Amino acid sequence: MDRQMEFVLRTLEERDIRFVRLWFTDVLGFLKSVAIAPAELEGAFEEGIGFDGSSIEGFARVSESDCVARPDPSTFQILPWRANNGHFHTARMFCDITMPDGSPSWADSRHVLRRQLAKASDLGFSCYVHPEIEFFLLEPGPYDGSVPVPSDNGGYFDQAVHDSAPNFRRNAIEALEKMGISVEFSHHEGAPGQQEIDLRYADALSMADNVMTFRHLVKEVALSEGVRASFMPKPFTEYSGSGMHTHMSLFEGETNAFHSDDDPLQLSSVGRSFIAGILEHAVEISAVTNQWVNSYKRLVHGGEAPTAACWGAANRSALVRVPMYTPNKSASRRIEVRSPDSACNPYLTYAVLLAAGLRGVEQGYELAPEAEDNVWDLTPEERRAMGYRELPSSLGHALAEMERSELVAEALGEHVFDFFLRNKRSEWENYRSNVTPYELKQYLSL
């Protein structure tokens, strides 16, 4: 037993932890959990916890359903919920999913990202990310498909007093900090009820764990304050949707591989090729970064989300931008990818973004000239003339592009790639066959 496991077992006893929740993520990005008593944890470290993989989205067929959840002691944290006696009695750990023989499960989202990080490591890079996570606070119910009601009427950077949850952001940030998740900024976003919380950078695997924890904690804090939190990409027709703008950088040891003093933007050839890789493969990875039918209601012309594969310095209308807040600080040179939304599977999203960027680095992709205009204002003809490829306008379009992608198939692995396509095709067909209130209103009198 290694020192980390010993630390966890000692902490359970010293802090009087009564329950340990073992977490993992299915292929679609939903959090799964099994609770065990502290007395069972040492055995879980040695042998794992068996479960029926055929009952989890995308994990295993009935004929080979036995899977094992193996807790990762480096992810141990005490959950910030007090019991009636005022103490914290529940902890959590993320798990790696394996087959009974100990081999990694190809359906495990953490394993998918780990494989891509191992490829980056073979090239001499480590990958760091920090996300800007947007979401809505809504009044409770109804749950019948009616238009939701925002919890406040604030706008961008307003010091909005939430009508229903005045202490929400403070309480959410305190809960995140108690679990070792550092927050850089928080503020009200542009739409009524819309919030943004930015997490401090971390390695990509830790950050994917943090995003899953973030979504759980935010929903729990919201419930405790009498509201509900939604990470739905676009719950309102008239307001912009919720993105998860993701800042990325590669490091070689302590050196930022994206920085160069010789470039006007202080962007190295590695950084330029990485951006070029994301732009080249942006269309085929869209089904992963934006995996829901509703995701494409956010990615529309006239909104604040990217609709074309282009890049720019400090240009928020581009798919990829180079933030220029600290132009002389080498460690801060990074890129911001603006397409992912807050409802994606963060493990798979980081895996395909990294795969696309590394493909650009490995093959020396040339970066096209930057977009200096407001891309949202350009006509489709103007975009084509400038060489900007349109991003998919629907999940169906995105799936067709993904199905042809060798890069995505390699990044996700055959099992996840095939299941993801099957599941999302079903979602798209269900959506296409559903008659909406809009159609009834427009066409019933024909």
> What's the pLDDT tens digit per position in 302-326?
678 999 999 999 788 899 999 987 7
Q: What is the dihedral of CA 167, 168, 173, 175, to 10 degrees?
A: 100
Contact between 300 and 391 under an 8 Å Cβ cutoff? The reply is no
**CA dist list (Å): 226 to 171, 172, 185, 191, 231:** 13, 14, 24, 20, 17
Residue 304 assigned ligand-binding role:
yes
If asked whether residues 213 and 341 sit together in one domain, one would say yes
If asked whether residues 191 and 241 sit together in one domain, one would say yes
Residue 414 assigned ligand-binding role:
no
If asked whether residues 23 and 123 sit together in one domain, one would say no
pLDDT confidence band for 141 (50 / 70 / 90): confident
Number of domains observed in the structure of the chain = 2
Task: Reply yes or no on whether the pLDDT at 283 is more than 60.
Answer: yes
If asked whether residues 165 and 90 sit together in one domain, one would say no
CATH number of the structural domain spanning residue 59? 3.10.20.70
If asked whether residues 82 and 138 sit together in one domain, one would say no
In the prediction, which pLDDT does 62 show? 45
301 within some domain: yes
Residue 382 assigned ligand-binding role:
no
Residue 188 assigned ligand-binding role:
no
Task: Reply yes or no on whether the pLDDT at 157 is more than 90.
Answer: no
Residue 212 assigned ligand-binding role:
no
Residue 46 assigned ligand-binding role:
no
If asked whether residues 263 and 137 sit together in one domain, one would say yes
If asked whether residues 184 and 261 sit together in one domain, one would say yes
Residue 162 assigned ligand-binding role:
no
If asked whether residues 83 and 119 sit together in one domain, one would say no
**CA 408 centroid distance within chain:** 17
Q: Which of 40, 71, 102 is the last residue before a domain boundary?
A: 102
231 within some domain: yes
Q: What is the dihedral of CA 197, 203, 208, 214, to 10 degrees?
A: -30
If asked whether residues 254 and 398 sit together in one domain, one would say yes
Residue 298 assigned ligand-binding role:
yes
If asked whether residues 70 and 208 sit together in one domain, one would say no
Q: What is the domain range of residue 167?
A: 115-442
Residue 111 assigned ligand-binding role:
no
Q: Which of 59, 75, 102 is the last residue before a domain boundary?
A: 102
If asked whether residues 152 and 266 sit together in one domain, one would say yes
Helix H, strand E, coil C: the string for 382-395 is HHHHCCCEECCCCH
Residue 5 assigned ligand-binding role:
no
Q: Which among 223, 241, 244 is positioned nearest to 232, based on CA atoms?
A: 241
Residue 92 assigned ligand-binding role:
no
Q: Which two tokens stand for residue 148?
A: 């939701």
If asked whether residues 86 and 20 sit together in one domain, one would say yes
User: pTM here?
Assistant: 0.95
In the prediction, which pLDDT does 203 show? 97
In the prediction, which pLDDT does 348 show? 98
Q: Which two tokens stand for residue 114?
A: 């780990």
358 within some domain: yes
Average confidence score pLDDT of the chain:
92
Biggest distance spanned by C-alpha atoms of the chain? 72
Q: Which among 309, 313, 307 is positioned nearest to 271, based on CA atoms?
A: 313
Q: Which of 74, 102, 130 is the last residue before a domain boundary?
A: 102
- Range picked from 38-47, 187-196, 402-411 for highest mean pLDDT: 402-411
244 within some domain: yes
CATH number of the structural domain spanning residue 268? 3.30.590.10
Residue 89 assigned ligand-binding role:
no
Q: Which residue has the higher pLDDT, 374 or 207?
A: 207
For residue range 32-82, what is the model confidence (pLDDT) as tens digits?
999 999 999 999 999 999 988 777 766 655 444 678 999 999 999 999 988
